[in-house]
Amino acid sequence: MFDLEIAKQTLKERNLTLAVVKNGKIIFQSNSHGIIGFLEAIEQLGGDLEGAAVADKIVGKAAALLCAYSRVNAVFASTLSLKGKDTLEKNGIKYEYEVLVSKILDKSGKDMCPFEKFSSSLENPKEAYFRLKEFSERLHRKL
């Protein structure tokens, strides 16, 4: 769990939204919101994410599915949703969290996060990656 401790410390000290550590080295960091940072990590690092430790501010089901797709070893979440927790458990990923919530909310705090909503029916990590990537691109074209 050494890598997870480094990832967690990096996330907090640098005020990031995502930190990825493998073999004692920070291999990716981001301040992007939502799952954008994790999608960028997958694009840049691909298979190098396998066996890495991830520290993320918010992990819902969508982020947990991306962790499973990437075959990371361990995840720390400042905030973890119940569906995210279930997904990590189903995929055999070790995890730690500070706060467990029933669902991840959007920026307004009034509705469920669009990625959480979109991923609610997804179970297969590979399918989830491609569908979430496409959904993210569609969402950002609208903005």
pTM of the model: 0.95
Question: pLDDT at position 1, please?
Answer: 60
pLDDT in tens, 48-59: 999 999 999 999
Enumerate the domain spans of the chain.
2-142
Those residues of the chain that have pLDDT short of 70 are: 1, 142-143
pLDDT of residue 34: 87
Q: Note the CATH architecture for domain 2-142.
A: 3-Layer(aba) Sandwich (3.40)
Q: How far is CA 27 from CA 16, 23, 32, 110, 119, in A?
A: 14, 9, 16, 34, 26
What is the pLDDT, as a whole number, of residue 143? 56
The percent of residues above 90 in pLDDT, for the chain, comes to 91
Check: CB of residue 55 under 8 Å from CB of residue 18. Answer: yes
